[in-house]
Amino acid sequence: MTKLVNHWIDGTRTGAVAAPGGGADIFNPATGEVAGQVVLATVEEVDAAVAAAARAFPAWRDMSLTKRTQILFRFRELLDRHRDDVAALISAEHGKVHSDALGEVARGLEVVEFACGIPHLLKGGFSENVSTRVDSYSIRQPLGVVAGIAPFNFPAMVPMWMFPIAIACGNTFVLKPSERDPSASLLIAELWQRAGLPDGVFNVVQGDKVAVDRLLAHPEVKAVSFVGSTPIARYVYETGTAHGKRVQALGGAKNHMLVLPDADLDLVADSAVSAGFGSAGERCMAISVVLAVDPVGDELVEKIVSRVRKLVIGPGDDPTSEMGPLVTAAHRDKVASYLEIGVQEGAKIVVDGRETPVTGGRGSGFWIGPTVLDHVPPGSRVHREEIFGPVLSIVRVRSYEEGMELINSGEYGNGTAIFTNDGGAARRFQNEVEVGMIGINVPIPVPMAYYSFGGWKDSLFGDTHVHGTEGVHFYTRGKVVTSRWLDPSHGGINLGFPTNA
Ligand code: NAD
């Protein structure tokens, strides 16, 4: 019998595939076989999850910070103990290798650890005597029911960018995972329950557009965090805000690495291969374009190619594999189509992932190996469009300025990196580049949990980035209290605007 992945509503697993179209297949990407079914929520099921979260909100909001924090610490301990189990679920449905899945759990755990410090993060300000015997202070309060909608590529880490902070701030949460790899979310829900989180504070609805649209329209949902592709991020932002919600919607990416002639080319080659092919390029912070400033191109391509040829491609649960398959057959085919497009546009395929051997055989898994395209024309589709697979494009440029122009003229602004030993050039780069997350000799500059993660331009719609203090800001709203405890000098009636004159 194949597994059934259903919802987690009010502390209980619930839901079945009741009607044709009410479920979707989950695949093992390494074999191409159907591994199970995920229930796709109806409007009524989403409403049930939101209702459970709304019921749980008043008591959770009013629970003392000490007790909330104790639950967060227990959740942190349980998640730490079950890292391997969460990673195994991710690897089985997403296809990424186990060590990579463990890495995403570790980065998610860091956000939980940050959220454990919530009593400090929610401290307001206090000013005594803003007027005679009048004091002012600021507080931040939770919003109510908030929702998170996640992409397939980080089924544990991306939701953990959202819910640890939202819940720590006193909100209740409804998570809509990707329908491609939904299982990790259910294990996480069980761990929350074992940590003592009251039922209804954390809920999971599995589903597709039906579930997303209902969350965006539901009057009880006060805020939505979304991570996914740019067209859907834009749609979620526009629809959610039209319904009066606070929305942060993170979109796609096309991340460039600018290599100056003075860079250490071995470090560059190691970094480009790690950042280009880790997780088979299915990372929003993957490097997909290397801008090689003359004259380093030929030497750098040689170094990259010699490393790529040694990569071991195989199933995620084989400890010798360094890179797994792609998530679905359709996605693999789309990625492969870019090799044809690249050739038509004048690029040269120097490593062809369609010919890469796979340990354990190819089967009908969703395989494509690491691919390197050289002499990719600036501005071509392969250069500009998000491929989201193991395809590294090398674009030759004559100068720093030409490279900077190519980065800044792109529609995305998620991550970027410069490789150089020139501190002045690096400083100029960080100042001029129109991108949210910058690496200096660091290929995947994902901010730590106590900073905030987010891109610019079409990589993020909304005002606040996720996690860190911006996350706390997103999931709370401010109040300022001005108070006077009456004494005989209170002053009587005054129709003028309050000033402290
Ligand atoms: P996606 O946009 O297809 O799906 C994301 C979520 O939206 C899923 O939960 C999905 O069920 C839902 N969805 C899909 N189509 C929808 C529709 N028409 N209406 C409403 N909801 C819909 O993204 P994906 O393929 O799961 O993930 C890959 C994308 O996510 C890439 O573009 C990648 O760059 C991006 N991503 C961005 C970041 C970031 O931080 N900026 C991080 C991870 C992934």
Res 363: pLDDT: 75
Confirm or reject: Cβ of 209 under 6 Å from ligand 1. yes
Sheet with 437-440: list strands edge to edge: 348-351, 371-374, 391-397, 287-293, 255-259, 415-419, 437-440
- Residue type at 44 in one-letter notation: E
- Residue type at 159 in one-letter notation: P
Instruction: Please report which confidence band the pLDDT of residue 498 belongs to, taking 50, 70 and 90 as the band edges.
Output: confident
CA–CA separation, 155 and 184 (whole Å): 7
Q: Which atom of ligand 1 is nearest to the CA of 454?
A: 40
Confirm or reject: Cβ of 253 under 6 Å from ligand 1. yes
Interval 413-448: pLDDT, tens: 999 999 999 999 999 999 999 999 999 999 999 999
Pocket perturbation via mutation, ligand 1, pick of 38, 229, 254, 453 by most ligand atoms within 8 A of CB: 229
Pick from 201, 150, 151: nearest CA to 174: 201
In three-state secondary structure terms, 397 is strand
Interval 185-230: pLDDT, tens: 999 999 999 999 999 999 999 999 999 999 999 999 999 999 999 9
Q: Which atom of ligand 1 is nearest to the CA of 176?
A: 9
Q: What is the whole-number distance in angstroms between the Cα of residue 418 and the centre of ligand 1?
A: 27
Q: Which atom of ligand 1 is nearest to the CA of 414?
A: 41
CA–CA separation, 273 and 287 (whole Å): 9
Confirm or reject: Cβ of 279 under 6 Å from ligand 1. no
Res 45: pLDDT: 98
Q: What is the whole-number distance in angstroms between the Cα of residue 207 and the centre of ligand 1?
A: 13
Instruction: Please report which confidence band the pLDDT of residue 361 belongs to, taking 50, 70 and 90 as the band edges.
Output: low
Confirm or reject: Cβ of 178 under 6 Å from ligand 1. yes
CA–CA separation, 250 and 462 (whole Å): 8
Res 46: pLDDT: 98
pLDDT of 352 strictly over 70: yes
Q: Catalytic amino acids?
A: 284
CA–CA separation, 328 and 93 (whole Å): 10
- Residue 191 tokens read as 């761990």
Q: What is the whole-number distance in angstroms between the Cα of residue 217 and the centre of ligand 1?
A: 19
Other beta carbons within 10 Å of 256: 26
- Per residue, the 3-state secondary structure of 252-314, as one string, reads CCCEEEEECCCCCHHHHHHHHHHHHHHHHHCCCCCEEEEEEECCCHHHHHHHHHHHHCCCCEC
Confirm or reject: Cβ of 179 under 6 Å from ligand 1. yes
Instruction: Please report which confidence band the pLDDT of residue 2 belongs to, taking 50, 70 and 90 as the band edges.
Output: confident
Pocket perturbation via mutation, ligand 1, pick of 46, 208, 248, 470 by most ligand atoms within 8 A of CB: 208
Residue nearest to atom 16 of ligand 1 (CA): 209
Name the residue ranges covered by the structural domains of the chain.
3-251+459-481, 255-440
Pocket perturbation via mutation, ligand 1, pick of 39, 153, 470 by most ligand atoms within 8 A of CB: 153
Q: Which atom of ligand 1 is nearest to the CA of 253?
A: 34
Q: What is the whole-number distance in angstroms between the Cα of residue 98 and the centre of ligand 1?
A: 22
Confirm or reject: Cβ of 412 under 6 Å from ligand 1. no
Domains 3-251+459-481 and 255-440 share a fold: no
CA–CA separation, 21 and 42 (whole Å): 11
Confirm or reject: Cβ of 212 under 6 Å from ligand 1. yes
Residue nearest to atom 38 of ligand 1 (CA): 284
Confirm or reject: Cβ of 281 under 6 Å from ligand 1. no
**Helices 83-94 and 98-115, interaxial angle, to 10°?**
130
Res 19: pLDDT: 86
- Residue 320 tokens read as 């010798």
Q: What is the whole-number distance in angstroms between the Cα of residue 150 and the centre of ligand 1?
A: 7
Q: Please say whether the beta carbons of 91 and 317 come within 8 A.
A: yes
Q: What is the whole-number distance in angstroms between the Cα of residue 134 and the centre of ligand 1?
A: 50
Res 397: pLDDT: 98
Confirm or reject: Cβ of 104 under 6 Å from ligand 1. no
Res 122: pLDDT: 97
Residue nearest to atom 17 of ligand 1 (CA): 209
Higher pLDDT, residue 423 or 496: 423
Other beta carbons within 10 Å of 309: 12
Q: Which residues are CB-contacts of 335 (< 8 A; sequence separation ≥ 6)? A: 281, 326, 368, 387, 388, 389, 390, 391
**Host H or E run for residue 420:** none
Mean pLDDT score of the chain, rounded to an integer? 96
Q: What is the whole-number distance in angstroms between the Cα of residue 44 and the centre of ligand 1?
A: 23
Res 44: pLDDT: 98
CA–CA separation, 57 and 63 (whole Å): 10
Residue nearest to atom 36 of ligand 1 (CA): 228
CA–CA separation, 293 and 429 (whole Å): 14
Residue nearest to atom 26 of ligand 1 (CA): 151
**Lowest model confidence (mean pLDDT) among 16-20, 81-85, 254-258, 278-282:** 16-20
CATH of the domain spanning 255-440: 3.40.309.10
CATH of the domain spanning 3-251+459-481: 3.40.605.10
Pocket perturbation via mutation, ligand 1, pick of 180, 227, 282 by most ligand atoms within 8 A of CB: 227
pLDDT of 1 strictly over 60: no
Q: What is the whole-number distance in angstroms between the Cα of residue 33 and the centre of ligand 1?
A: 23
Res 477: pLDDT: 98
Interval 290-348: pLDDT, tens: 999 999 999 999 999 999 999 999 999 999 999 999 999 999 999 999 999 999 999 99
Instruction: Please report which confidence band the pLDDT of residue 499 belongs to, taking 50, 70 and 90 as the band edges.
Output: confident
Residue nearest to atom 30 of ligand 1 (CA): 228
Q: What is the whole-number distance in angstroms between the Cα of residue 45 and the centre of ligand 1?
A: 21
Residue nearest to atom 19 of ligand 1 (CA): 209
Half-sphere exposure of 124 (CA within 13 A, CB side): 14
